[in-house]
Structure 1
Amino acid sequence: MNEPPVPFFQSTAGPAHLGNGPQNNTFYFSPPQTPGRSRRRHPAEDLRRLFLRFVRPEGFGRALDVLREHRTVFLDAPSGSGRIATAKMLLWEEGEGSAEIYELLWEDRDGEAPLNDGRIAEGDRLWLDLSELSEEQWRRFSGELPALRHTVLARKAHLVVVLPHPRHDLPSEHSRYVVEIKAPERRGVLLQHLRAEGLLQTEEDWELPPSQILEKQTSLGKISSFVSSLIKARNSTGGEGNLTSWWSLTERAFFHLPKAAAEQAEQLREGAQRALLLTVSMLHGAHVDGVYRASSLLLEILGSAHGDDAPLDGATFGERLREIGAEIDASSRAVRFREFTYDAAVRSYFWVNLPQLREHLPVWLEQIADSPEISPAEWRKLIERFAEQCLGDRHDDVMKKLIERWADRQGKRRDAARILLEGGLRHERHGQRFRGHLYEWATRKEIPRGLAELMIDACRDVVASRHPDAALVRLHHMARRTWREEARRALVEMAGESRRSFRQLLARLTREGAGGGRFAEADTGIFLQIAAPDIITAPDPRHRTLIGEAGVRRLLTRGWDAAFTAPQEVWEPTVRRWLQMAAQDERHRDELLTVLIEGAAQHPRVLAHLHSLPYRLGLPPCIGEFLFRQINDVQGIRLR
């Protein structure tokens, strides 16, 4: 037995994406869960799953050395080589398995400089994907590179940058940070995936049969998709068989069924047959009544004759199904093709080769939504399959229109809007476009309630796990506008769960010009909620507190300066909590009281109120005495 030179890990479940080049993926979208239950998937799960499947590419060791020595490394690697996975694993290993890894977005429509230093916190481990940058965008990045490097060094962060390939000109002083990465041998990658999935049970399983999937030009992402299909093949047989039999099914699905589906569709000349073929592929596994109804609706929309005006004439529905290679399960009455994953091949054929159908499918979905023959579970699968086609061919605009149309509806349509939105946001290649849609909606003056609720859930449960900065920006815009209470709750929750998000939000609330204008009241309210004394004085595992950071204290001072322009009844409850915490927490007493007084320095009436407040609250004399000294110091500075 020839085992590959890869380390052994215990098995786990789930596919991983190991490249961002062209690939054939089957995407799975999670249906909505019950209200009140968090659907957030922590990035640690993804990183551990990736780690169990990762095989170090050539150049990984040198890249890790450069990262550790210089805190920055530039990866030069072709598409499909696993360069994004390599960036993540470099940071994972540098951090000794810590899950705190963030993607730094090059361009995000948030009104801020894409790489401003507020995006990089102390000790951050970040990766930046520039692989799709045009030459014009690259020139812009090159101009920001010195400042970016300075911030990374000053804040003791680590940064992995994925360069365009072939790479554009890089300033000579940064060329020493470039490391070329070459994809690992495909067989080793495939075996590592199979082992992680528990599919290598016998010695014979290690002897992989010849396959196109092992060819040199195969992207690592396609290998991951192949293994996912193997798992589906095993599950489709109820676990019966072995790796060889499942491999045979997957090989045919990957490399032969697309051609077979094309040949069948081209041989079918009647509109009714093609409509049935497409319907079965979209509703694969659904009850026969729903398939029949949906097929009839599709023919109506396309303007074709039913062919069933005389029920006793012509072929039965079962016969028509058998003609296209489908059958009705005797017990469940579900309609399925006889071949494994043939439905996916048919869907892909129609979407690519009959583009004129695309404008009719949303109308078809609209009508099917009202059909009682289609169960909620069958409806969700239908929407997932529709989204798969849209995302595979850059037709996210169709999904966007349906989200806007259905978000404020009830029942099946609202479920569909959620599936489309969250599925788009999770997509590896097109997630950024959906974050752009979120930003566009979030900055509107008015947002329909249903859409706002879906956006808040998506920011909190989907975007925040991988792109917390982007989620925070969008929630902040919503918290300033319509549905501010719902968005504010999610925003404050984010800031309370993550110190990085707390700092980012505090910086946004207190940046120059942020406190004035039409958003002043909203921003003040948010500031007073996140500036909870129990949060800023809580120690982390290293016994560090937010109030103990000089940068945070400066921002808190600015926040109080803006807050003290509001009516007293707005800010006094939070001031009281700060004073009470100062009385209880001797360690942070000076910091809490100093921030308050410096924030009130330009507000004489507030200073006078702060002087008397401790006595009216019955706090220890030391609190009033400290405030008295601080107020005198502040006023003395102002008088000189």
Structure 2
Amino acid sequence: MPAPQGDLADRRWGERDPAGQQERESPEARQDEGESAVCAETAHGDSGSDVVPSREAAGAEDDPAIQHMRGVLRAAVAELRQEALFNFGEMNAVKLTAILGQLLEHSELPRRYLDTVRAVFAPPDGYEEASKTLENPGAVLVLLREPGAGRTFTAHALLADLQLRTGAKVGPLSFGTSGRFPLHRLPREENAGYLLELPSDEDTFEVSADFGASLFEIQRNLLNRSSRLIVLTTPEQWQRVGGDAPADVVPPLRRPDGRAVAEAWLKAEAPQDLDVSRWLADQRIANLLEGQSPSDVLETVGHILKAERSTSLADVSDSDPDGFHAKVLSVVQARTAWRTQLLEWHSKKGRTSFQRNFLLVASLLRNASVAHVYAQTAALCRLFGQPVSLQGQEEPGVVEMVSEIDADLDPTNDTIEFARPGWDDAVLSYFWIDRPPARKTFLSWMAEAPTTKTTDFLETFTPEERLVLANRVGAFAVRWATHHRKPDPLEQIISAWQKDRNLWSAATDLISAAALHPTMGRFVHELLLRWSKASNTPELQKLTVEVCAGEFGRRNTAKALLRLGYAAGSMESEVQKAVGAAVRTIWSDPSARKSLFASITKWCAPNSDRMASGRRSFAALATLASQGYEPKDRVPSLLLRDKEEGGFQPSYEDLSICWGALLLSTEADEEAPTEAVNLWMDAAHGNPSLQHLIFGVLRGAVSTEDSALGRRLRHRLRDLLYAWQPSPAPSVDADRVRLRHELVDLLDHDRSRSVAKYHPRASHRWDEA
């Protein structure tokens, strides 16, 4: 499970909740622009406790503005906790859809998120010293922790304090596409704080061994701009790349204390009447928290909050007058997955398969209408070979079934509520262990459940409800697959959702978010590599490509290019379209162009075993026209000078290599070379200064030592040139005909070998371009 003390995908929190947006636009919000910061401060303090001055405490407690701000903070903390655990069972449809979208956004860390981090962060030993060090312009801190140990959250807390104390803009940096971090990736902004996560090493990619030594120059650049940098890496990776690093860049931070983490989160999210001290003083709770990872601590926090909200657990007795003992016991049992209680429930005399399946379905389809749970239970029974009839009154009804699974029925929403904390996840875990032969059938049903468009009852299963259900099913599949390191549930839902546009988008977003998660990410990266080669399952290749075109590709460009290269070899049209879109998306990032084009050139090289991948990837760029020109003056983007510092310009040789591969396209790929030749020749016709450049590239594309291959390439290019401007033909443009003849004559001239090979003057013509 992911770590609550950090390791969350970068997100934009400024527009998380429509209700929150309305609140910020209200008169009260306009009156105090810093409302969210004040809200966080009232919940932060040294240990997350209230810090309202005692003289004004009574008035503050009754102040509607203070109450409102605390409510906003509690909601933000609750969202953050669910994001950390990749478990969205408590969110409604609007919030869930917004959260999943914003998990994938790449931006400056906004103030509201930083305020929330400060409200729940429990500083470990050594934190204050590290925070003061980071305030110094030019400071570099390297946090050495394994993914899932709270390293990203610690970094975000450091950046939040930096922003509060210095006003610095803070946010993430992408490492780039090569093994060495390029200095030009450091923005030119003054007074900023950056977070750089070193990509994990793979067989085909690893961070350069001299990264530590490069920090000296990075420090000098940061100092000149009054900025700072935090680097995230693992102890193992740092041992390999950290040699010759500046002294004291690794602060002596201790591991987060479980009790302190729980206290901070509870005081920030729990209602004011919850006695946090009483909970944490109980030895049973203390034992659960001691030595636990942040994610385990946060699960316990969630169980405590659930137990406090439940009225069914508050059994009063002489020995437990307020039911507190029962609540604590429920939290302890939740941490042991309710195994004893579930065994007793399943083995009760007279227990039916319909009841067992109803419990299983209700546990997975949290917050779905009870009618849909009822109908889906019947569907699952049929798949298990035990059909039931829901017509008439033969089978037990909804009320009886809800009672049998020890749940409550919300009369307002017609949804099923479990009083016991963690009960639904425990039910799913119990089934998986208890029924090995039924696993495949269950996964098949689970993947198909969100595709159902009707309950066959009066209630309508709306598209919004289907999407929320898909996100919850998908999130469960991601957590389960990562925990067991088996891709089965993910592959099932990808296959089942491929024909539904909304469900497909949900699957892509879920896998993308998981790929960015440091706890889940490594396993998902492995899956994406495996899926990129899965030629027999094009839906897996297509999803991989779409994930690589998003934030995963932006942060892990080298890894994304490797996976794109395999997927681009697919003959499936949908995969090819996705590859083209992905290549163009990556090209839109100037810092990624050099590595992208180097990979494509390598794939296009003669005798390459990735020729098809290279050809299709180059076609996506060769047919990409610049923006801002009239249609008749469009220019291929590959020919425009990149004005960015450290910008990239493809060489003549590489362009010719790629064009040679494109001209070898099969009939199935006929459209791409036609479109590319038309675009490039239109540019040569409309921009005379580009003619020498374009002619030189195309002549180089057909120049080869293999005479048979050269003849084939020339014939193909001549055919495409004639198709660009046939003659005779109606409305012939004499200039276009002349231009075609000029290039064809040069091709013949080169073939004759009677004079020296034509070499354009590169530097002059690039300047003209």
TM range (shorter): 0.5 to 0.7
SS at 2:519's partner residue? coil
Report matched runs for 1:142-541 at 5 Å. Answer: 145-149=208-212, 160-164=231-235, 173=244, 176=247, 177-184=249-256, 189=261, 193=265, 199=269, 208-211=277-280, 212=285, 215-225=289-299, 254-257=331-334, 261-268=338-345, 269=347, 270-272=351-353, 273-302=355-384, 318-330=399-411, 332-339=413-420, 342-352=423-433, 354-365=435-446, 368=449, 372-373=454-455, 375=461, 377=465, 379-380=469-470, 383-384=473-474, 386-387=476-477, 390-391=480-481, 393-403=483-493, 405-410=495-500, 421-422=511-512, 424-425=514-515, 427-444=517-534, 448=538, 454-461=543-550, 463-464=552-553, 466-471=555-560, 473-475=562-564, 477-479=566-568, 481-482=570-571, 483=573, 484-496=576-588, 498-510=589-601, 514=605, 517=608, 518-519=611-612, 521-529=615-623, 532=626
AA paired with 2:143? L
Structure 1 contact 73–160 (Cα < 8 Å) conserved: yes
SS at 1:4's partner residue? coil
Does the C-alpha gap of structure 1 residues 75 and 208 become closer, same or farther in structure 2, counting only changes over 3 Å?
Answer: same
Within 2, Cα distance between the matches of 1:52 and 1:635?
Answer: 53
Structure 1 contact 280–291 (Cα < 8 Å) conserved: yes
Within 2, Cα distance between the matches of 1:578 and 1:15?
Answer: 59
TM-fit CA distance, 1:51: 6.6
In structure 2, the gaps of 5 or more residues are 1-41, 52-68, 187-194, 223-228, 312-321, 630-634, 636-640, 664-672, 704-713, 715-733, 737-757, 765-769
Within 2, Cα distance between the matches of 1:51 and 1:276?
Answer: 42
Does the C-alpha gap of structure 1 residues 89 and 303 become closer, same or farther in structure 2, counting only changes over 3 Å?
Answer: same
SS at 1:146's partner residue? coil
Match of 2:185 in 1: 123
Deviations 1:318-366 (A, max 9, x none): 3343132124444554333344653233333333555554333124336
AA paired with 2:357? A
Does the C-alpha gap of structure 1 residues 453 and 635 become closer, same or farther in structure 2, counting only changes over 3 Å?
Answer: closer
Report matched runs for 1:43-82 at 5 Å. Answer: 43-44=106-107, 49=113, 52-54=116-118, 55=121, 56-60=123-127, 61-62=129-130, 65=133, 74-77=142-145, 81-82=149-150
Structure 2 contact 584–620 (Cα < 8 Å) conserved: yes
TM-fit CA distance, 1:402: 0.6
SS at 2:184's partner residue? coil
Within 1, Cα distance between the matches of 2:500 and 2:333?
Answer: 41
TM-fit CA distance, 1:53: 0.9
Within 2, Cα distance between the matches of 1:371 and 1:189?
Answer: 43
Does the C-alpha gap of structure 1 residues 343 and 443 become closer, same or farther in structure 2, counting only changes over 3 Å?
Answer: closer
Match of 1:97 in 2: 169
Does the C-alpha gap of structure 1 residues 597 and 38 become closer, same or farther in structure 2, counting only changes over 3 Å?
Answer: farther
Within 1, Cα distance between the matches of 2:548 and 2:92?
Answer: 15
SS at 1:44's partner residue? coil
Does the C-alpha gap of structure 1 residues 70 and 557 become closer, same or farther in structure 2, counting only changes over 3 Å?
Answer: farther
Bigger shift: residues 360-369 or 485-494? 360-369
Mapped pair 1:560 → 2:655: yes
Within 1, Cα distance between the matches of 2:180 and 2:605?
Answer: 15
What value does the CA root-mean-square deviation take over the aligned residues? 5.9
Match of 2:28 in 1: none
TM-fit CA distance, 1:57: 3.9
Identical residues among aligned pairs (%):
17
Deviations 1:34-61 (A, max 9, x none): 9xx9877313376763674154544454
SS at 1:42's partner residue? coil
Does the C-alpha gap of structure 1 residues 90 and 43 become closer, same or farther in structure 2, counting only changes over 3 Å?
Answer: farther
Deviations 1:554-581 (A, max 9, x none): x354543435656797357347659978
Does the C-alpha gap of structure 1 residues 291 and 476 become closer, same or farther in structure 2, counting only changes over 3 Å?
Answer: same
Structure 2 contact 124–253 (Cα < 8 Å) conserved: yes
Within 1, Cα distance between the matches of 2:555 and 2:484?
Answer: 21
TM-fit CA distance, 1:5: 6.6
Structure 1 contact 91–126 (Cα < 8 Å) conserved: no
Within 2, Cα distance between the matches of 1:550 and 1:582?
Answer: 28
Within 2, Cα distance between the matches of 1:598 and 1:91?
Answer: 51
Within 2, Cα distance between the matches of 1:77 and 1:274?
Answer: 43
Within 2, Cα distance between the matches of 1:572 and 1:317?
Answer: 65
SS at 2:427's partner residue? helix
Structure 1 contact 38–461 (Cα < 8 Å) conserved: no
Mapped pair 1:573 → 2:679: yes
Does the C-alpha gap of structure 1 residues 435 and 526 become closer, same or farther in structure 2, counting only changes over 3 Å?
Answer: same
Bigger shift: residues 287-296 or 368-377? 368-377
SS at 2:279's partner residue? coil
Does the C-alpha gap of structure 1 residues 75 and 236 become closer, same or farther in structure 2, counting only changes over 3 Å?
Answer: same
Which of structures 1 and 2 has the larger relative contact order (alpha carbons within 8 angstroms, sep 6+)? 1
Larger radius of gyration: 2
Match of 2:189 in 1: none
Deviations 1:247-288 (A, max 9, x none): 999967643445584333211323434333223222343344
In structure 1, the gaps of 5 or more residues are 105-114, 238-244, 538-544, 584-591, 607-614, 618-629
Within 2, Cα distance between the matches of 1:101 and 1:472?
Answer: 19
Q: When the two structures are aligned, how many residues end up with a matched partner?
A: 565
Deviations 1:274-314 (A, max 9, x none): 3332232223433444333433444454456869999569x
AA paired with 1:84? T
SS at 1:43's partner residue? coil
AA paired with 2:185? G
Deviations 1:206-227 (A, max 9, x none): 9644323794524333455566
Structure 1 contact 326–335 (Cα < 8 Å) conserved: yes
Deviations 1:362-409 (A, max 9, x none): 243367555842835264266246426524632542124314532444
AA paired with 1:280? A
Bigger shift: residues 88-97 or 439-448? 88-97
Name which of 624, 639, 643 aligns with 1:547. 643
AA paired with 2:76? A
Within 2, Cα distance between the matches of 1:595 and 1:446?
Answer: 42
TM-score calculated relative to the size of structure 2: 0.56
Structure 1 contact 74–160 (Cα < 8 Å) conserved: yes
SS at 1:360's partner residue? helix
Mapped pair 1:83 → 2:125: no
TM-score calculated relative to the size of structure 1: 0.65
Within 2, Cα distance between the matches of 1:633 and 1:457?
Answer: 40
Structure 1 contact 421–458 (Cα < 8 Å) conserved: yes
AA paired with 1:210? W
Bigger shift: residues 163-172 or 466-475? 163-172
Mapped pair 1:4 → 2:86: no
Match of 1:107 in 2: none
Structure 2 contact 262–297 (Cα < 8 Å) conserved: yes
Deviations 1:233-257 (A, max 9, x none): 99999xxxxxxx9x99996764344
Structure 1 contact 442–475 (Cα < 8 Å) conserved: yes
SS at 1:488's partner residue? helix
Structure 2 contact 546–578 (Cα < 8 Å) conserved: no
AA paired with 2:344? Q
